[in-house]
Structure 1
Amino acid sequence: MEEVKTVNKESQSPLSFLKNLLIARWRSLLFLLIGVYLPLQVFEILTVKLWENQAGLPWDVPILLAIHSTANPQLDVLAVTLAIVGLPWTAIPILGAIALILLLQKRWRSLAYLLTASVGSVIINRTAKELMHRVRPQLWQSIVPEYSFAFPSGHAMTSITLVAILLFLTWASSWRWLVLMFGSLYIIAIAWCRLYLGVHFPSDILAGWMVALGWTVGVSLIIKPYITQVKTVDDERPEDETTLLPEERKLIAEE
């Protein structure tokens, strides 16, 4: 009885309700701030700066020249190989295989996340390139020249999107640490090869990272692919990913 009175009292106090809500949701809010807002804010700043000055940012050329000064035949082979590995087209069979596994395992929520995150990333990249029309660096003759627009980097976006998808799909298991470690190395390696080959400015890479991170994290907050088991309202039996959450059913009913 005393507990009911306390709950009723709190429900009548806006400050108490707000405090309890923030305490209960602080992790989600922090995740939203770091994973969505900050990356998209950085992307916006880069976009505005490049729109005002197509020549690039002050640190673009010095970083490219510093990386180019390390060029040698062995690194040439490594960079070209990484460029092929990091191609958006290379990610398609990988994501296709994962999608098939998720389909067979009836992990439909995770499958929905994979498809939404990957297809959306491609659309964002194509749209941004056409809007910005930023040309590739012309500081030296690249051994693997590119002729499409540069901003944001498709390789950078593909690497972040692929690693983010794998990370969220393994979030409930110990595999996530392995994915995080090797995924980080993969992301850095792909970025290095694009700069080494002279086909992207550093700001192209950073923009690709930021917009892809904001997109994949934002989609995860909506679709929640890391939920592998959900309990029903009466807590009697667990439901797999083929079942909508109660709030999702309510939204559909309201349409």
Structure 2
Amino acid sequence: MAKKLQMGDGILSAPRGAFWWGLGGYIVTAVIGFIAVANLDWTKSTYFIDEFFHANTSPFQEWLAVILEAIDRYDVVAFILLLLGVLVTIWKGWLPALGSMVVAGAGWLLIAGVKQVVAEPRPLPFDGSAYKEALSYPSGHVTFVMALTVAVCVVLAGSRWRWFAVILLCLLTLLTAWSRLLLGVHYPLDVVGGILGGLSGAFLVLGVWNLAVRLATRNRR
């Protein structure tokens, strides 16, 4: 007989007040964006950082930046989330797996609201071609990797692998931020907003998820 699929404990590890920290960070992310657009000349002046990275790059670095370009494509995101879900299901059960997928995925998608409202025009990339996405703040690539970092870390809470995952994924987040600047498709503040937005969005969704699981569990008793 096939082994019954384990449900697992759906409550994910979270800092106290995760929802409110997330909501506050989400608002701060939006405010930073509004300030960047209101002072667009200053924002554009920070593009020298992109120019520095671009002028001091190597073929390998350019190749790596192009590879990381794909990290927030819908098919790539779907694959990463499904892989995360399968691994967590095997280890902890399907409910925490679903929770981790929701935290990473919805935490990433939430930032689309900020991007549309702030509406910061994107700089022209170094290759001279118009970028497929016209709005720049915050970086969706960085947002996704940061939200994924939170999702993985809450699943690994209490595990000896937690800090290894924190360091590895934080480095990947910084590497992704660097790649966006090297390609010239974001202003520096965009990637900062992506880090804050991904962290805030994931915390916000994490708080909602845990509340929903608690309410569902209470109603079943």
- Scaled to the shorter chain, the TM-score interval is 0.7 to 0.9
- Whether the 8 Å contact between 1:121 and 1:161 is mirrored in structure 2 is yes
Query: Could you report, residue by residue, the CA deviation over 1:66-106 in whole angstroms, capped at 9, with x for unpaired residues?
Result: 22231333322222123235645323212102223444667
Structure 2 residue corresponding to 1:195, chosen from 178, 181, 185 = 181
Shift in alpha-carbon separation, 1:56–1:126, aligned structure 2, 3 A: farther
1:40 and 2:43 equivalent? no
1:91-110 superposed matches below 5 A: 91-103=77-89, 107-110=93-96
TM-superposed CA distance for 1:167, in Å, is 0.9
Q: C-alpha root-mean-square deviation of aligned residues, in Å?
A: 3.1
Distance 1:67 1:107 in 2: 43
Distance 1:215 1:37 in 2: 8
Shift in alpha-carbon separation, 1:32–1:177, aligned structure 2, 3 A: same
Structure 2 residue corresponding to 1:113, chosen from 92, 99, 118 = 99
1:150 and 2:136 equivalent? yes
1:219 and 2:215 equivalent? no
Greater RCO, 1 or 2 (C-alpha within 8 Å, sep 6+): 2
1:65-214 superposed matches below 5 A: 65-85=51-71, 87=73, 89-103=75-89, 107-138=93-124, 140-141=126-127, 146-148=131-133, 149-214=135-200
Shift in alpha-carbon separation, 1:36–1:133, aligned structure 2, 3 A: closer
Moved more, 200-209 or 44-53: 44-53
Distance 2:159 2:205 in 1: 20
Structure 1 residue corresponding to 2:36, chosen from 19, 44, 50 = 50
Larger Rg: 1
- 4+ residue runs over 6 A deviation: none
Shift in alpha-carbon separation, 1:131–1:222, aligned structure 2, 3 A: closer
- Whether the 8 Å contact between 1:60 and 1:201 is mirrored in structure 2 is yes
Structure 2 residue corresponding to 1:28, chosen from 5, 9, 16 = 16
Query: Could you report, residue by residue, the CA deviation over 1:27-86 in whole angstroms, capped at 9, with x for unpaired residues?
Result: 725x677x5366335413312203423445376323222222313333222221232356
Mind listing any 5+ residue stretches in structure 1 that lack a counterpart?
1-26, 226-243
Shift in alpha-carbon separation, 1:96–1:45, aligned structure 2, 3 A: same
Please give the secondary structure, in 1, of the residue aligned with 2:110.
helix
TM-superposed CA distance for 1:182, in Å, is 0.8
Distance 1:130 1:61 in 2: 22
Q: Percent identity?
A: 19
Query: Could you report, residue by residue, the CA deviation over 1:7-40 in whole angstroms, capped at 9, with x for unpaired residues?
Result: xxxxxxxxxxxxxxxxxxxx725x677x536633
Distance 2:90 2:51 in 1: 49
Shift in alpha-carbon separation, 1:94–1:123, aligned structure 2, 3 A: closer
Matched residue pairs, number?
204
- Whether the 8 Å contact between 2:111 and 2:143 is mirrored in structure 1 is yes
